[in-house]
Structure 1
Amino acid sequence: MTIKRAPFMTVSATITLCLFLQPVHAAPKRQQPRPEIFTDLLQCRAIADNAQRLACFDRQVGAMEAAAQRDEVVVLDKGELSKTRKTLFGFSFPKLPFLGGADGDDQKDRQEDGFSQITAKIASVRSLGYGKWQIGLDDGAQWITTEAIVAGNPKVGQDIELKRAAMGSFMGKVDGGRAVRMKRVG
């Protein structure tokens, strides 16, 4: 493909244009490697002899139970994972596969599981002066407003809606009021 540079375009603008015209190939989602203790359990299914297969299952389930008691293996269902993600909402973490982040993670995935916003009850409030507040949620999370709330003070028991905003920031609305910028502090 040949692109003629217009007289008003700089070299860097031409390079940028060429990059946009390149075909885009979506990277396939990689499945995360499973723990060895789990794959060993799955390999028991391949044993043809019933007695040996049962012995293998008993041995591997015992090993998995012992690992769980030592907190080396944790098993979460989708509901528990969703609760965990909700309690971590507002913190900045790398994309961890066990929290739902992986290559190809997009905004639609986050919105479907409630990760782009949460609604909670206010459990505590503390004035920081100048219309700014520290707000404790019912799940223990602590947030501060980084701009003043001008219409009414937040109160214990009110609902607060927190949403992901541009460039890693968050917006919060207390009882449907005006949205203000907020930051998770604990």
Structure 2
Amino acid sequence: MQWKVGVAVAAMLAAPAGARELDTRLQAALACTKVTDAAERLACFDRAMVPLQQAAQTGALDARSLGPQARVGTISAVRGLGVDSYVIALENGDRWQLFIEGREREPKIGGTATARRGAIGSWWIDIDKGSTFRAKFLGPPQRRAGG
């Protein structure tokens, strides 16, 4: 399980600055890099790794917990999900479920989706500055076994 935590931290370090909102557990671990005293830095990492390891073991540290790769993206796929929502995929791999609550227009491939945080961890997606949907971040596409 420790390798999963290491991979997650490495992926976050490799991301361009400002491209992704960091999980608070990762923020705590990254803050340790600024501690100059070696013993204090090690103690900081030891403390920060406990919640990261727990999250990795329970499955709470996954693509959705890491957040979207970007706040703005181009829609590459759209599909209806029942009568009250759509699932969109962005060119960067992020997937979102959009909830129909009024007269929102169907999102179109090639459109621009802009995500913004709402209250209490909610998300909103503006499509081409025309329709606004309550949204749920689904993470990147799921990889299928054997492929």
Quote the residue 2:132 is aligned against: 179
Does residue 122 of structure 1 match 2:75? Answer: yes
Larger Rg: 1
Deviations 1:54-77 (A, max 9, x none): xxxxxxxxxxxxxxxxx8x95947
Tell whether the 8 Å contact from 1:81 to 1:99 is kept in structure 2 after alignment.
no
Alignment: residue pair count: 95
Amino acid of the structure 2 residue aligned with 1:152? R
SS in 2 for 1:80: coil
Quick one: structure 1 residues 148 and 99, their matched pair in 2 at CA, closer, same or farther if it must change by over 3 Å?
Answer: farther
TM-score by length of 1: 0.42
Quick one: structure 1 residues 154 and 169, their matched pair in 2 at CA, closer, same or farther if it must change by over 3 Å?
Answer: same
Quote the residue 1:108 is aligned against: none
Whichever structure has more strand as a proportion of its residues is 2
Does residue 144 of structure 1 match 2:97? Answer: yes
Consecutive unaligned residues in structure 1, runs of 5 or more: 1-70, 103-114
Consecutive unaligned residues in structure 2, runs of 5 or more: 1-6, 33-67, 140-147
Identity of aligned residues (%): 27
Cα distance, 1:123 vs. partner? 0.9
Tell whether the 8 Å contact from 2:96 to 2:136 is kept in structure 1 after alignment.
yes
Q: CA RMSD in A?
A: 3.4
| Structure with more contact order per residue of length (Cα contacts < 8 Å, sep ≥ 6) | 2
Quote the residue 1:66 is aligned against: none
Quote the residue 2:16 is aligned against: 80
TM-score by length of 2: 0.51
Q: Distance in 1 between matches of 2:103 and 2:119?
A: 22
Higher mean alpha-carbon deviation, 160-169 vs 175-184, is at: 175-184
